[in-house]
Amino acid sequence: QVQLVESGGGLVQAGGSLRLSCAASGRTFESYAMGWFRQAPGKEREFVAAISRSGGTVYVDSMKGRFTISRDNAKNTVYLQMNSLKPEDTAVYYCAVGNLLATTPNSYTYWGQGTQVTVSS
pLDDT tens digit sequence for 25-62: 876 777 889 999 999 999 999 999 999 999 999 999 98
| 29 or 90, which is more confident | 90
What confidence tier does 5 reach under pLDDT thresholds 50, 70, 90? very high
Name 43's Cβ contacts closer than 8 Å, sequence gap at least 6: 91
**Span 99-108, pLDDT tens digits:** 999 999 999 9
DSSP one-letter code for 90: -
CA atoms of 117 and 85, how far apart (whole Å): 10
DSSP string, 85-97: --GGG-EEEEEEE
